[in-house]
Amino acid sequence: QVQLRQSGPGLVKPSQTLSLTCAISGDSVSSNSATWNWVRQSPSRGLEWLGRTYYRSKWYQHYAVSVKSRVTINPDTSKNQFSLQLNSVTPEDTAVYYCARGPGSFAYWGQGILVTVSS
């Protein structure tokens, strides 16, 4: 059974970097069939896919255009996890952030972390 466990701060100051981690159990971040995604949810923006990382003989990252200039998603094979970094955050980035396993649809989700951007 795949389980995803998220960690990271719940409060980030404006202009700083939001950093979250998603630890994987029951699967491998280096799987040749899975994709590892970040999705956020807020009342104003609804559900929004931020991007993904996946391994197909080499590592790929793929980002949503809306955040492409500010986002980085990286795998950590030594810890079997992947991370999200979102730079230059504003209050508009306040949301519940989820990690999720693909491809095709998201059958497994992390528990979600509410990240508030405020000074």
Partner 1 sequence: QSVLTQPPSASGTPGQRVTISCSGSSSNIGRNTVVWYQQLPGTAPKLLIYNTDQRPSGVPDRFSGSKSGTSGSLAISGLQSEDEADYYCAAWDDSLKGFWVFGGGTKLTVL
Question: Of the two residues 80 and 108, which places its CB atom closer to partner 1 in the complex?
Answer: 108
Place of tokens 């949503």: 64
By CB under 8 A, is residue 11 in contact with partner 1? no
DSSP secondary structure, 34-72, as one string: -EEEEEEEETTTEEEEEEEEEESSSEEEEE-TTTTTTEE
The rounded distance, in Å, linking the Cα atoms of 33 and 103 is: 7
By CB under 8 A, is residue 112 in contact with partner 1? yes
By CB under 8 A, is residue 110 in contact with partner 1? yes
Question: Of the two residues 10 and 46, which places its CB atom closer to partner 1 in the complex?
Answer: 46
Residues 6 or more apart in contact with residue 2 via CB below 8 angstroms: 24, 25, 26, 27, 101, 107, 108
By CB under 8 A, is residue 1 in contact with partner 1? no
In the structure encoding, which two tokens stand for residue 25, read together? 């159990």
Name the minimum Å distance from CB 16 to partner 1: 26
Identify the residue among 8, 16, 42, 64 touching partner 1 (CB under 8 A): 64
By CB under 8 A, is residue 33 in contact with partner 1? no
The total of other beta-carbon atoms located within 10 Å of residue 42's CB is 16
Identify the residue among 34, 94, 98, 117 touching partner 1 (CB under 8 A): 98
Q: Which residues would be at the binding site for partner 1 (CB under 8 A)?
A: 37, 39, 46-49, 62, 64-65, 98, 104-107, 109-112
